Amino acid sequence: MPFPMQRLRRTRSSRALRSLVRETRLSPSDFVYPIFVTVGEDVRNPVSSMPGIFQLSINHAVAETRRAQELGISGVLLFGVPEEKDEAASGAYDPEGIVQLATRAIKDAMPEMIVVTDVCLCEYMSHGHCGVVEKGTGEILNDISLELLARTAASQAEAGADVVAPSDMMDGRVAAIRSELDNEGFQNTPIMAYAAKYASAFYGPFREAAESAPAFGDRRSYQMDPANAREALLEVELDIEEGADIVMVKPALPYLDVLHRVKEATNLPVAAYSVSGEYAMIKAAAQNGWLDERAVVLEALTGIKRAGADIIVSYHAPEVARWLS
């Protein structure tokens, strides 16, 4: 005697029945698409470890965002690749910085499209760390970094960002950003906090794309140990207390258990960032003919949604949106 689910699979209308009882459904609107914006005119630099991804000058970033909008993708997440870097990350909070300019251009062209801006210093620091580094000791100075992060977020909100997304993992940054946003008149700008961000080797290709590999040391003094899950819940709790509106887990695939636990622990929207290394792995295998790219991407992203993601940040977003339509 067949079990109930088998009975559903075996009727003549099994396709429709399978669809009727399907628990998880991807939609283009689940997605936020990361874009690397760079200076210059008409630039489209391929990122070698991320086939299909480019550093784009503002005109191309606007065009790429338009394409994403037409596919039904909810928003873009902007990362800046500035011309110059220094030890104060000045480019991060420059009102005429690359992300600020790109945000203005995209919002002017597409007021309805959600623009999320990355709040971090690593892309703008000559040493590539996410915070201010103390000379001599090489230590990351948490509290001084908070001021710069808060200024960065406010300048992005000023430029029209709909959501700011701190990815630096400094302690107390959500509170610092919230208070600066409130003081500057951006009480309604939500914060999507990278609450549980692991010190992951899966960020490798991103550091090529954003030109943000640390020149010395690593990020383990501020990002989380991949071995810890309860710590993620603690980080999430603290970020919520400090004023996070959306909490994020990053990377996604190696941390589906964490994603699931975070989803159970909060009623706030939960985002998952399927990072550059997850993208690169699938692309590389597909290019070798070792995996069926479309099937694998849809399976991986469905798994991320099933585990609890309300929002998925993914470099696959445009191709997925096309497959889904």
Residue 16 CA, distance from chain mean position: 34
Q: What does the alpha-carbon distance between residue 298 and residue 294 come to, in Å, rounded to a whole number? A: 6
Burial class (CB in 10 A: 0-12, 13-18, 19+), 185: exposed
Cα–Cα separations (whole angstroms), residue 19 to 9, 12, 292: 10, 13, 22
54 binds ligand PBG (CB under 6 A): no
From the CB of residue 35, how many other CB atoms can be counted at a distance below 10 Å? 22
φ, ψ for residue 87, nearest 5 deg = -90, 5
**Amino acid at the residue 114:** I
Between 111 and 138, name the residue whose CB sits nearer to ligand PBG. Answer: 138
Cα–Cα separations (whole angstroms), residue 269 to 192, 239, 256, 308: 9, 13, 16, 9
Minimum distance, C-beta of residue 261 to ligand PBG, in the bound complex (Å): 21
φ, ψ for residue 43, nearest 5 deg = -95, 135
Minimum distance, C-beta of residue 237 to ligand PBG, in the bound complex (Å): 21
Residue 246 CA, distance from chain mean position: 12
Among 219, 261, 263, 283, binds ligand PBG (CB under 6 A): 219
**Amino acid at the residue 136:** G
Among 206, 256, 304, 308, binds ligand PBG (CB under 6 A): 206
Between 186 and 202, name the residue whose CB sits nearer to ligand PBG. Answer: 202
Minimum distance, C-beta of residue 3 to ligand PBG, in the bound complex (Å): 41
Q: Judge whether 31 and 304 are in contact, CB under 8 Å.
A: no
Contacts (CB under 6 A) with ligand PBG, residues 124-163: 130
Q: Is there a catalytic annotation at residue 107?
A: no
Nearest residue relative to ligand PBG (C-beta): 206
Q: What does the alpha-carbon distance between residue 236 and residue 71 come to, in Å, rounded to a whole number? A: 32
Contacts (CB under 6 A) with ligand PBG, residues 261-290: 275-276
Catalytic residue chosen out of the listed positions 85, 107, 250, 263 = 250
Between 190 and 205, name the residue whose CB sits nearer to ligand PBG. Answer: 205
Q: Is there a catalytic annotation at residue 197?
A: yes
203 binds ligand PBG (CB under 6 A): yes
Contacts (CB under 6 A) with ligand PBG, residues 298-317: none
Binding region for ligand PBG (CB under 6 A) out of 2-10, 56-64, 116-124, 254-262 = 116-124
Contacts (CB under 6 A) with ligand PBG, residues 163-192: 167-168
Q: Is the bond into 111 cis (omega within 30 degrees of 0)?
A: no
Between 152 and 276, name the residue whose CB sits nearer to ligand PBG. Answer: 276
Residues assigned a catalytic role: 197, 250
Residues that bind ligand PBG (CB under 6 A): 118, 120, 122, 130, 167-168, 203, 206-207, 219, 275-276
